[in-house]
């Protein structure tokens, strides 16, 4: 029985398929290689609440890398929660602020195996409501009501 020689066109076709497969393999290697540098400890999350425990929706959050001084800004969700992924390892200063509240700051360290939780409590800075003020005057034994003063504007 006589063996048939491989047809030159088939040999060329196999060579092209092999090159195509190699190109696809190299492409996917280059695309997925940067993902290997990401660490599981590159996520920080938390909640922004008032001193009374109420969530503060849309609070402004600034996450500053203390090594590079790079700052990332984001807003809290409606329930006051936030999640920031893809952070490099290092120390971060997280600041939260919202209208009517004093800013709060916390420092966290990102290590290879950590996913720290950074909850911040904002203190209310709204002025007290107007009303009678009760004070004890020096030299008296009973509380005294101080008369309220009101201001009006005319145009």
Q: What is the pTM of this model?
A: 0.58
- Show the domain range for 26: 7-37
Number of separate domains in the chain: 2
DSSP 66-124: TTT--EEEEE--TTSEEEE--PPSEEEEEEEE-TTEE-EEEEEEE-TT---B--EEEEE
* Domain co-membership, 23 together with 60: no
> Tens-of-pLDDT digits for all 155 residues of the chain?
555 555 555 666 666 766 666 666 656 555 555 554 444 447 899 999 999 999 999 999 999 999 999 999 999 999 999 999 988 899 999 999 999 999 999 999 988 877 889 999 999 998 766 666 555 555 555 555 555 555 445 55
In a domain, 150, yes or no: no
pLDDT of residue 142: 57
- CATH number, domain of 109, equals 2.60.40.1120
pLDDT of residue 42: 77
In a domain, 109, yes or no: yes
Please choose, from the candidates 69, 63, 105, the residue with its C-alpha nearest in 3D space to the C-alpha of residue 84.
Answer: 63
In a domain, 98, yes or no: yes
Q: For residue 146, give the H/E element and its range.
A: strand 144-146
* Domain co-membership, 67 together with 115: yes
* Domain co-membership, 104 together with 84: yes
């Amino acid at each position: 029985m006589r063996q048939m020689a491989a047809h030159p066109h088939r040999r060329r076709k196999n060579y092209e398929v092999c090159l195509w497969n190699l190109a696809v393999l190299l492409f996917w290697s280059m695309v997925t290689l940067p993902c290997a540098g990401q660490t599981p400890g590159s996520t920080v999350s938390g909640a922004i609440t008032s001193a009374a425990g109420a969530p503060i929706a849309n609070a402004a959050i600034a996450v500053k890398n203390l090594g590079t001084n790079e700052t990332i800004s984001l807003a809290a969700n409606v329930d006051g929660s936030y999640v920031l992924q893809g952070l490099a390892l290092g120390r971060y200063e997280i600041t939260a602020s919202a209208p009517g509240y004093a800013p709060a700051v916390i420092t966290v360290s990102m290590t290879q195996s950590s996913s720290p939780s950074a909850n911040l409590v904002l203190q209310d800075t709204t002025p007290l409501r107007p009303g009678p003020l009760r004070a004890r005057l020096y030299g008296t034994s009973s509380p005294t009501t101080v008369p309220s003063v009101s201001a009006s504007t005319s145009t």
